Amino acid sequence: MAGWIMWMLAAGVLVALELFSTTFYLLMVAIGFTVGGVAALVGLDIEWQFLIAALVVVAATHILRRSKFGRRTKVHAERDPNVNLDIGQSLVVDQWRYEPGTAGVADLYAARAKYRGAMWDVELAPSAIAQSGLYVIYEIRGSCLIVGNAQSKR
């Protein structure tokens, strides 16, 4: 079997494996293998085929790492509505209590409110105003809801 066919079969296998991993890195290696197959089809020696394939893999991987697809985005699960469906939901807070901070802890407004049939601890987001009324959940820390005013959604 010709060398270029082996390169293309290996590239095809890597593309199929990429469909399961969804990281794009196997796709970069498959691109390198395809270029190696083209080098074999042109008639270059096996050493040149491997060298060209390796250079293309390194270059493609470097380009991928610098693109937005190769960069990991740090998502805070406590603020991500894709992780917690309660974020963005509304609740009513009847009364706030002021809790002065101690030992380097900031002052905050806290309350207890009924949400989804249970009583929850509620803290006011730094940019929100403490008054009774409707609030939107911005973040969840443990069993504490961090809320902001409904009319001033972030």
CATH number of the structural domain spanning residue 138 = 2.40.50.140
pLDDT confidence of residue 69: 75
pLDDT higher than 70, residue 33? yes
Which tokens hold the place of 138? Answer: 């911005």
In total, how many domains does the chain have?
A: 2
Helical axes 25-42 vs 46-66, angle rounded to 10°: 150
Of residues 56 and 153, which shows the higher confidence score? 56
Domain with 61, as residue range(s), is: 3-66
**One domain, residues 44 and 83:** no
pLDDT confidence of residue 153: 46
98: left (phi over 0), alpha (psi -120 to 50) or beta: beta
Measured CA to CA, the distance from residue 84 to residue 99 in angstroms comes to: 27
Instruction: Give the residue-averaged pLDDT of 33-40.
Output: 95
Question: pLDDT digit string (tens) for 42-99?
Answer: 999 999 999 999 999 999 999 988 888 767 677 777 777 778 888 889 999 988 888 7
